[in-house]
Chains A and B, each alone.
Chain A
Amino acid sequence: DTGVSQNPRHKITKRGQNVTFRCDPISEHNRLYWYRQTLGQGPEFLTYFQNEAQLEKSRLLSDRFSAERPKGSFSTLEIQRTEQGDSAMYLCASSFAKGNTIYFGEGSWLTVV
């Protein structure tokens, strides 16, 4: 297993367009997390799944954001009607259900122009 995989690594989109990011977690991991990180800040929690169930969503996750993990394996994060303030790195991480250690992917950079 090569770790958490995210794609695309970079996405430039025009304001108002929809974008989707994909995350493939470490295969044995039940939990999958999405974070957002802007320059000079630490990662901010957005949401997490245990298997296919979305267990918690941050208030940062506006109704333009939706995350899914339909089969309990890979996950997608969709941002609708993108705004310039959505420009950030979107990080995915995974862990065992009972484990406390989370492992990150390399992130997906979004630039909204």
Chain B
Amino acid sequence: GQQLNQSPQSMFIQEGEDVSMNCTSSSIFNTWLWYKQEPGEGPVLLIALYKAGELTSNGRLTAQFGITRKDSFLNISASIPSDVGIYFCAGRETSYDKVIFGPGTSLSVIP
């Protein structure tokens, strides 16, 4: 079945450092979504990508839709303590309507 993999599983970084995480799928996707989730809350949409090669920014966050359509990455520049949380990638496979999620990357920022 459809499956997404995210790496790394967790990250511990110093405040001010840049962060990079990625997501890969076993099949071609037509949409990639990146969400952030904080404890006890629902996922909050950060960036949506709809075309292969698309590069989109949202403040200090930048995400790209891989040209193979099987991967995406998210970069966070100059991390701050409020970036702490779990980052999920999600995507929609071309032949399905549902959106599936990766297992998440847990980010910890050390002040």
Chain A interface residues (CB < 8 Å from chain B) = 4, 6, 33, 35, 40-45, 48, 55-56, 91, 93, 100-107, 109
CB distance from B98 to the nearest CB of A (A): 5
A33-B99, A48-B97, A101-B33 are contacts. A42–B104 as well, Cβ < 8 Å? Answer: yes
On chain A, the residues within 8 Å of B31 by CB distance are 100-101
- The answer to whether A91 touches B98, judged by C-beta atoms less than 8 angstroms apart, is no
Chain B interface residues (CB < 8 Å from chain A) = 4, 30-31, 33, 35, 40-45, 48, 50, 88, 90, 92, 97-104
Q: How many A-B residue pairs have CB under 8 A?
A: 58
A100-B50, A101-B33 are contacts. A45–B100 as well, Cβ < 8 Å? Answer: yes
CB distance from B51 to the nearest CB of A (A): 11
